[in-house]
Amino acid sequence: MKLPSGYRQPEWIYAVEWFDEDEKWHGQAGAFFSQEAAEACMAQLEAEGQTDMVVNMIPVHSRLQDWQWDR
């Protein structure tokens, strides 16, 4: 597959978020550039008694054209 000229791959961020058992979103604790940092955040919050968290991977595009090509 040939990518368009000037295409930039998205960067990924890792967001620590709360969901309930019905998969309803209840907020974000933080977002990080590495999965390791997100998992450390989640472990710290779990140690403090927080539950029902997930790490959500989010692609971040620097240009609208790149997002349009990826969608």
pLDDT per residue as tens digits for the range 4-60 = 788 899 999 999 998 877 778 788 999 999 999 999 999 999 999 988 899 999 999
Kindly give, in sequence order, each residue whose CB lies less than 8 Å from that of residue 30, ignoring residues fewer than 6 positions away: 15, 16, 38, 41
pLDDT of amino acid 16: 96
pLDDT of amino acid 40: 97
pLDDT of amino acid 71: 79
